[in-house]
Structure 1
Amino acid sequence: MPFGRSRDLRLPTPEEAPPGRTAPPYEVPGKHSVLGTALQGPYPEGCEVADFALGCFWGAERRFWQLPAGIWTTVTGFQGGRTPHPVDDEIRTGLTGHAETVRVVFDPAKTTYERLLRLFWESHDPTQGFRQGNDVGTHVRSILFTHSPAQRAAAEQSRTRYQHALSASGYGEITTEILPAEDHPFYPARGYHQQYLDKNPGGYCGLGGTGVSCPTGATGASD
């Protein structure tokens, strides 16, 4: 796994969080090693951004870039914490409060946010709280960071639908948070973590879904 176990299974208080930095402490590669597109922009006009935290971001990123159409770029990073511009060692302590996150830039003319949501739900177990399989800690919790009212509405609706499906299969309550991205800055990870499983095909991936399919809504979700 990319990071060690957090100190315990709770989010840090503001007083516990490291102070962080006013600027990024490292450079991020310019291009996606698989797609060849810009990691941090500029992005093509009409593309949308969506952020997903679902456990180890190495495997999560690969699942998104492998979609057959509509993905412009993917970026691994950290989101949802208190420390500005955190570094790996701080995140390992659990004191920054960040979750491993994948930023997905997509073309809504070729795929849909609902399609990405379906992949999100089906790629992990959203009922596990501060855990995904063997990975334990606040950094592997499940979160949807939304970039618009439309994304938030779609996320909430899909969570409700998936809860019904999970409950029917004997699973417990979904612990996934839905948070506004504007209140939770995204900090790209070091180059080592970008497209890690492209560079290390046999590398670790602890993600595992429930095997329960996510129902689509009235608007559907096309590939």
Structure 2
Amino acid sequence: MKKIKNLFIILLSACLVNTWPVYAEEQEYVSEEEREFYEYFNLNKNDVEEYSQNLFEEAQKAPIVPDKMDNGFTRSVSGTWSWRDGVICVCDSYTSFLNHGHAGIVAAAPHYYSTIEANPNKGVQVVRGDWPSRFKPRVYQAGVISTSVAQDQKAAKKAASFLEKPYSLLSTLTTTDTFYCSQLVYQAYRLGAGVSLPHGLPGIITPSDLLHAGATEVTYRYE
């Protein structure tokens, strides 16, 4: 079944790439988002995995720091799992058809002790329980340096507003009708907190991007 799924995605990607030049010629204007989206399908699977692995290796070496904002205010505990609204959760376990991890965001009330995630075959959903009990080998939590507690809570609530939306790896960085895991977190912060988190590959944000030094800081790591 997994081989069939992989083959389907490869074939679909090839179809999209092959139709891109015709599409571009027929449009008067092609947005940056559309350009990046089609560049994404030209990426080699191994390149994506290597890119993600490099970022995860950096995250493994990153110091565990207090959950602080730019002004130095400490928002929550660090060095242990946090249920603070909007904290970004990342693991480097195998998911989907690429070995680049999984991502989610700590939910706001009324979804206590839960994360909001976009999962294959289930879409955007509330999942109860901390990640160290769910994922191996490594789990990270990170705080966005430039945001306030109120902004992070807005991001968490924005993620919850997408509950029951379907999962799709074909989602663009600004799609709001379908999601994949790290793009859901990206959209939650972009639309909820007004912060666009950085990404290093065209048209896609990987879970490892959410541990980007300079934009977020690792406040917890479980190995």
What is the TM-score when the length of structure 1 is the normalising length? 0.29
Name the structure, 1 or 2, with higher relative contact order (CA <8 Å, separation 6+): 1
Larger Cα-atom Rg: 2
The structure where helix makes up a greater share of residues is 2
What is the TM-score when the length of structure 2 is the normalising length? 0.29
